[in-house]
Structure 1
Amino acid sequence: MLELPTPPSPPPKRAGIPDQRWNLLPVQTKQALALAQATQVSPLLAQVLLNRGLDRPEAAQAFLDPDSQTLPSPLEDFPDLPLSLELLINAIHDRQAIAICGDYDADGMTSTALLLRALRSLGARVDYAIPSRMNEGYGINERIIEEFHSEGVGLILTVDNGIAAHRPIERARELGLTVIITDHHDLPPILPNANAILNPKLIAETSPYRTMAGVGVAYVLAMSLAQSFGSLAQGFGQTQDLQNTLLELFTLGTIADLAPLTGVNRRWVRRGLQRLPKSEIEGIQALIQVAGLSGEKNLKPEAIGFRLGPRINAVGRLADPQIVIELLITDDHGVALERAMQCEQINKHRQQLCESIEKEAINAYENSSINAKEDHVLLLVQPEWHHGVIGIVASRLVERYGVPVFIGTYEDEQQEHIRGSARSIPEFNVFEALEFTKDLLLRHGGHRAAGGFSFEGAQLDDVRSRLRQFAHQCLKPEHLRPLVTIDAQANLAQLDFDLHAQLDALHPCGMENPNPVFWTPNVRISDQKLMGKGHLKFMVSQEDASTPSPRKIQAIAWRWGEYYPLPKSLDIAYRLQTNEWNGDISIQLEVVGVRLPQQFNAETEFLFEQRPYTCIMQERGNLKELRIRNARGEILAIQKGQKIGTLSKNNHPPQETDVSQQPYYDLIRTALDALDRVPSQTS
């Protein structure tokens, strides 16, 4: 649960309700019932498993019990791991100085602390350096290389960076240094000339290690090294204490970096979350204390994502990462508490900066001539915004306006250079947009969902025009609303502690394994209250002729205070959770989407080319949308009068499809013929 301070005055009112688009995943009633019977779970949970692509009982059981699967040895999956171990073992035996170059985000800092603890426990002479976020930017650089060399370092180990650092790595090799790169970022066309490279992007896509963050690569290296030293009693951990310590740091970094919670991430994070409440790391215990989580018996990924992770990341954004490294490697309770309190104060400053810049950004946009909906993208640049937090503000503006957002600030008083961050929506690839604009940029990098960039101030109008051009090539007006993806429809009567306990088997939830979202049509909203910093609390109930006094369930909508009061009747989309207050535990809904009540009809089954399909005609405002689903759960959606529809596959963003071409044209005609035989479907 998020902290809820004293209620402030009501936030500014926005008209209506959130302008969202809902993606209802396909209803698979027969398959869900069959899977539920085979695995002894609720049909609602079975539907969620189907949505995750787990359509076989054995696959579903393996997902619900990840420890039941046998892992391949990382020595088999990482080609350069044996060489990396040999280089490190020789350096340790020869008492050669080893230096770690980390990064200033939570992944990089936890990776650095993890390897410092592991290498020192094995007798290595090891130190570290992290580049300055404000003065140097991301990744190892030549200054750090030269400094390491002057200090007598013989082996450099990068964590969470280095895969694109060609010139710094080349300089290190010129100076006779050994370099091992551990990273997880996308691969450049040509790899750096390092002695060894460990990156999950270099291994098979089917490997369970493929989705690891930087801290995962560091964890595999540390555990394999300890095993090579013969320090592992049962294959992991010099002692049980070391094993637990490294697992806790892996868990903290993996969740804070928003790494996919699939493969080994899911397996190890699940174990690590059980360890964190009773952590043997003084710094983690101190961080839990200042975050108000002391006494929690079970930590969920949300506790790290919303409470622990931000306190770590805030330091990397605004202050010296050494604070976090000392927090995570000290065994002194007093030092740990002092560093945790520093993290707390820096995070409060970060929160204030984010709130201030967000208000300024909203005001700057809404009082400008820029029209983000027409442009399909929003680029905002203002002086004196702190570069360390503008990425967070960009995410909030994406949530508010539903368009890709690029935010920049001037790096100098003369306003000659702009540096910024970008955040996106599913249909817009930030990295491709920056590549499309690269002749106007000084530097850029990133991936599909986020990125960073810099350019000369004089190019501002040209950059805005180029981004607008790219956005119009890949986005349509219907894309420019926040997307809510929904697993299944549920009746409020189904929402009980038994269902909540079953859904708990899906945890840890996070990237690529999201908390399931359910929806219930036409619920009654009552007892609305504002609370905290613009949050909305209310009760929901479902009218039922057989129940004179319908059950009421408490609901929370974070950051929705500006929509107060909500209409009295709504369709709602929500996550199921529990709320504890004064020793009482109750079911609570975290509302993530609402819309005015709509009428949805049942799906109609039909055959096309001897294959089974279902179809449904749905009313969406003044538009009708035909949705066709095949046996694999893929959905073709087309609005009346349009020749371009969307094809959605499980866990992938919708792709535009020309439905005037075959076989889609005949498929649609067959579906419409099937609907014509059911008059209520087309009314």
Structure 2
Amino acid sequence: MRLPNQRWLISSSAPEIVEQLVETTGLLPIMAQVLINREINTPELAQVYLEPESLLLPSPLEEFSDLAVSVELLEEAISSGDKIAICGDYDADGMTSTALLLRALRHLGADVDYAIPSRMKEGYGINTRIVEDFAKSGVGLILTVDNGISAYEPIARAIDLGLSVIITDHHDLPEKLPPADAILNPKLLPSSSPYRGLAGVGVAYILAVTTAQNMGLLKGLTDQLLELFTLGTIADLAPLIGVNRRWLKRGLRKLPKSQLAGVQALIQMSGVSDEQKELKPDDIGFRLGPRINAVGRIGDPQVVIELLTTEDEGLALERAMQCEQINQKRQQLCSKIEEEAVNLIETIPINWQQDRVLIIVQPHWHHGVIGIVASRLVERYGAPVFIGTYEEEEPDKIRGSARGIEEFHVFEALEFCHDLLGKYGGHKAAGGFSFPAKNLEAFKQRLSTFAHQCLKPEFLKPLVKIDAQADFNQLNPYLYGQIDGLQPWGIGNDFPIFWTPNVRVIEQKVVGQKHLKLILAQEDGTEIKAIAWRWSQYFPLPMCLDVAYKLKENHWNGNTNIELELVGVRVPVAAQATKKAVFEINGRSYACSFWESLNELRIRNEQGKVLAVNKGQRIGLLGTRRDNAQKIDVTQPHYYQLIKAAMAALQIEK
């Protein structure tokens, strides 16, 4: 039996607070518990969560100390005809931020252009080459978006050359801030600020709207900026809380009927239904966002900038088709690199459990997509992942991406290694870095030291965070309607996950070569259909399980049904090994266990091989994993003696 290697964190219930929220909000008790798990535990907080427009927002001018200066610098540049240059980034956040400010500043009459550093040749963020090119072309004001907070030397160079600089960024703060004329970064705000969770595009949105308001030219601009804010915020995996939640609820309603030619072309190309009155974060996160992100990873960001700034429907469709083609290539690259990485991890093998961090570096991997692969490896192994590749033009240099887990702070880990690194940046969940190849072993050792400070061995499993226990008879359209009514779900406000114990698997089959389709039932006979994406390696699942899942609507042939999307399974407590023991035979040690519900004896040797046999059967399985185990005749003398010794150790009668 092979099951996903997971750790479950089931939220504790709070009956008194649940009752209070049910009375004041009309939510079902199970949904009130979901809110409590997200620290929405008073009627007042619940009211703001349910109706984000009821939140009294402080003025951005009061929160961002440099916003007034930034608006003044932009107005002066526009009125005097000075050239403004935007330095963006090549991810979805950076490209939507760039497009947003280009649209806004052109609307306001500015002479504005942009540059985005080459991912392949230069890496993340504004650099001295870009600054000097701007100066040569007569730029008077540089505006960074989604970058710049760690670029001390390039910003200092710009100031030396007589240029003004506004930094708009949302990444973690370095010890020494650059000498810019103005810095807008939500990380400079108190943690209680509703603006604290803004992505780069959110900071750009505030700057654009405030400037347009100040100039009396906001009319006709609001919706298009809000749509770009929505695209960039979700695609960047920003937390969907605070002001993000408020503005996203508006933006998600606007997107299906977008007036932007590029957004309409992207929606059409990605197959999002024309009938939807409102998009959901998943539509952006899994359909629109990847098509934008792919271009920045392995293509030319200019494709996306033109897509999101053009008024020409023909050009928009052409650019959306390019995004589609590039995304298909990106998918192929990711699959190939992931397959190679898994093969290396499991055949070398890489002892990431001992290091408490998974570090893998290989030549010829495309560093535009290794961040995606890092995320997939985190999902697979449940450990922080640092993945790198050698620069094509500088083979003595390694560039990489990192993704973390709940208890591991990526940016702090990189800071812990700062003397070994060149450029680096990021936040708690993700980061990027580069360093001389000669530092690789030292980098591995330093990261392992950091990981040992914050990670216990039991943390190194994929985490399933569960909101509440549910019976199948509670899983009805009314519950789903309440879940759907509380959109947007996403980062920082996860889609609810429920669990049900002691479920029987009535039917199961592999579909599409990768997925499992199931019918599950509780003891009272209530049945429900379920899908488990990319779980074919666990087929067949045991007949009795605890299941963790999300609730989904399935539309088929005009019918709508509630189904489960499995995210976790485990052997029920009652079905776990009832007896365990260790024994020796012929000078070798073995561990054994008996699983009463499965009527199965298991014997593990020191090398990790397991012999599994059902009581009374002649044929057993031998191997490190059930899906590749060999069938063994256990009546052979060696195996018979092993089984006899194990049963004696467990005190089981034959």
TM-score by length of 2: 0.86
Q: Who is 2:597 aligned against?
A: none
Q: Is this contact kept in 2: 1:440–1:463, CA < 8 A?
A: yes
In the TM superposition, residue 533 of structure 1 has moved relative to its aligned partner by 6.2
Secondary structure at the aligned position of 1:537 is classed as strand
Cα 1:212–1:619 shift into 2, 3 Å:
farther
Alignment of 1:651-666 (within 5 A): none
Match of 1:570 in 2: 545
Match of 2:213 in 1: 227
Q: Is the 8 A contact 1:521 1:598 kept in 2?
A: no
Q: 2:18 aligns with which of 27, 32, 35?
A: 32
Greater displacement, 431-440 / 315-324: 431-440
Letter in 2 for 1:38: T
The answer to whether 1:337 aligns with 2:317 is yes
* 1:183 corresponds to: 169
Once the 2 structures are TM-superposed, how far is the Cα of residue 351 of structure 1 from its aligned partner? 0.3
Which residue pairs with 1:464 in the alignment? 444
Q: What is the CA-CA distance between 1:325 and the residue it aligns to? A: 0.2
Which residues in structure 2 correspond to 1:145-160 (within 5 Å)?
145-160=131-146
Alignment partner, residue 429 of structure 1: 409
- For residues 112-151 of structure 1, what are the structure 2 equivalents within 5 Å? 112-151=98-137
CA contact (8 A) 2:21 2:43 kept: yes
> Alpha-carbon deviations, 1:195-243, whole Å to 9, x = none?
1111111223222111111100111111111111112xxxxx322xx21
Q: Quick one: which amino acid aligns to residue 332 of structure 1?
A: D
Q: In structure 2, what is the Cα distance between the partners aligned to 1:472 and 1:126?
A: 49
Are 1:449 and 2:435 counterparts?
no
CA RMSD of superposed structures (Å)? 2.0
Structure 1, 450-459 or 38-47: larger mean CA deviation: 450-459
Residues 311-341 of structure 1, C-alpha deviation per residue, up to 9 Å, x if partnerless?
Answer: 0000000011000000000011110000001
Amino acid at match of 1:95: G
| Corresponding position: 1:590 with 2:549 | no
Structure 2: distance between partners of 1:423 and 1:86: 38
Task: Kindly indicate whether the alpha-carbon contact (under 8 Å) linking 2:344 and 2:350 is maintained by their aligned counterparts in 1.
Answer: no
CA distance in 2, matches of 1:282, 1:288: 10
In 1, the alpha carbon distance for the partners of 2:128 and 2:443 equals 30
SS in 1 for 2:573: coil
Q: CA deviation at 1:470?
A: 2.7
Q: Which of 230, 233, 250 is 2:229 aligned to?
A: 250
- Provide the residue aligned with 2:149 in structure 1: 163
Alignment counterpart, residue 510 of structure 1, candidates 472, 490, 507: 490
Alignment check: 8 A CA contact 2:254 2:278 kept: no
Q: d(CA) in 1 for partners of 2:32 and 2:334? A: 40
C-alpha separation in 1, matches of 2:449 and 2:427 = 19
The CA deviation string for residues 263-301 of structure 1, in whole angstroms up to 9 with x for no partner, is 110000011001111111111111111111141332110
Within 2, Cα distance between the matches of 1:342 and 1:33?
Answer: 53
Determine helix, strand or coil for the equivalent of 2:432.
strand
Q: Which residue of 2 aligns with 1:561?
A: 536
Q: What is the Cα deviation at residue 407 of structure 1?
A: 1.2
Counterpart in the other structure of 1:197:
183
**Residues of 2 paired with 1:375 and 1:99: CA distance?**
45
Deviations 1:39-96 (A, max 9, x none): 2110001111111112211221221111122222111111111111111111111111
Answering whether residue 461 of structure 2 is matched by residue 485 of structure 1, we say no
Question: Would the alpha carbon gap of residues 620 and 556 (structure 1) be closer, same or farther in structure 2, given more than 3 Å must change?
Answer: farther
Q: Is the 8 A contact 1:394 1:422 kept in 2?
A: yes
Partner of 1:264: 243
Q: How does 1:620-635 map to 2 (within 5 A)?
A: none
SS at match of 2:289: helix
Cα gap change, 1:378/1:268 in structure 2, threshold over 3 Å: closer, same or farther? same
Q: In the TM superposition, what is the alpha-carbon distance from 1:505 to its structure 2 partner?
A: 3.0
Task: Give 1:105 shift.
Answer: 0.5
Moved more, 437-446 or 35-44: 437-446
Q: Please state how far the C-alpha of 1:402 moved relative to its aligned partner.
A: 1.7
Residue aligned with 1:522, SS = strand
In the other structure, the counterpart of 1:278 is 257
Match in the other structure for 2:67: 81
Offset at 1:463?
2.6
Q: Which runs of 4+ in 1 moved over 6 A?
A: 618-623
* Bigger mean CA deviation after superposition, 468-477 or 298-307: 468-477
Match of 1:67 in 2: 53
Moved more, 435-444 or 131-140: 435-444
Instruction: Tell me which amino acid in the other structure corresponds to 2:79.
Output: H
Instruction: Give the match's secondary structure for 1:445.
Output: strand
Residues 176, 31 of structure 1: CA spacing in aligned structure 2 closer, same or farther, 3 A cutoff? same
| In structure 2, C-alpha distance between the alignment counterparts of 1:194 and 1:374, rounded to whole Å | 44
- The aligned runs of 1:367-406 (5 Å cut-off) are 367-406=347-386
Q: Is the 8 A contact 1:282 1:332 kept in 2?
A: yes
Q: 1:359 aligns with which of 331, 339, 350?
A: 339
Identity of aligned residues (%): 63
1:434 to partner: Cα distance: 2.5
**Correspondence 1:552 to 2:527:** yes
Q: Distance in 2 between matches of 1:98 and 1:372?
A: 48
Contact 2:549 2:567 in 1 (8 A): yes
Q: Is the 1:420–1:452 Cα contact (8 Å) retained in structure 2?
A: yes
Counterpart position of 1:654: none
> Does residue 408 of the first structure (1) align with residue 394 of the second (2)?
no
Aligned residues, how many?
580
Query: For the structure 1 residues 462 and 154, does the alpha-carbon distance in structure 2 shift closer, same or farther, using more than 3 Å as the test?
Result: closer
Aligned AA (1:574): Y
1:457 deviates by: 2.7
Query: Which one has more relative contact order, counting CA pairs under 8 Å at least 6 apart?
Result: 1
Q: Over alpha carbons, which structure has the higher Rg?
A: 2
How far is the alpha carbon of 1:346 from its aligned partner? Answer: 0.5
Which of 494, 499, 520 is matched with 1:519 structurally? Answer: 499
Q: How far has the Cα of 1:245 moved from its partner? A: 0.7
CA contact (8 A) 2:86 2:115 kept: yes
CA shift, 1:412, in A, is 3.8
Q: CA deviation at 1:246?
A: 0.6
Tell me, yes or no, if structure 1 residue 494 matches structure 2 residue 462: no
Compute the displacement of 1:442 (Å): 3.2
Per-residue deviation at 1:469? 2.9
- Alignment check: 8 A CA contact 2:150 2:425 kept: no
